[in-house]
Structure 1
Amino acid sequence: MSDDLCWCQMRRFDEAITIYQQALLIHRELGHRHGEGLALTSQRNALSEVRRFEEAINAQLQ
């Protein structure tokens, strides 16, 4: 998730959300629980920035 800060600092949240979705699927496929958590947290942060609060809450509850 090293690109996490880059996408958010550039304020490209919609692109970041898509990337975090893809990362989440990959981590789940590999069974990498820590990576899943990182992807979900990053996704939640980006969703919050674009005021998609309901989706952000759902991402955190997964």
Structure 2
Amino acid sequence: MSSGTSELAWFKSSYSGSEGDSCVEVAMTEQAIHVRDSKDVTRPSFAVGREGWRQFVRFASER
């Protein structure tokens, strides 16, 4: 992932519970949705286009 992801506004799902240490964090930009491991934010994140993210969320919500 390119540098500069530390400036993003990362957040966790409200479904992650009170402990909140076993989930992913996401940050949204106009171009992409960035995803990272909340347990180790120093590891590289990855980004997916907004349409790809919509398809993923739609797929996951059907399960």
Range into which the TM-score falls when normalised by the shorter chain: under 0.3
Normalized against structure 1, the TM-score is what? 0.22
Greater relative CO (CA pairs within 8 A, separation 6+): 1
Higher strand share: 2
TM norm structure 2: 0.22
More helix by share: 1
Max Rg structure: 2
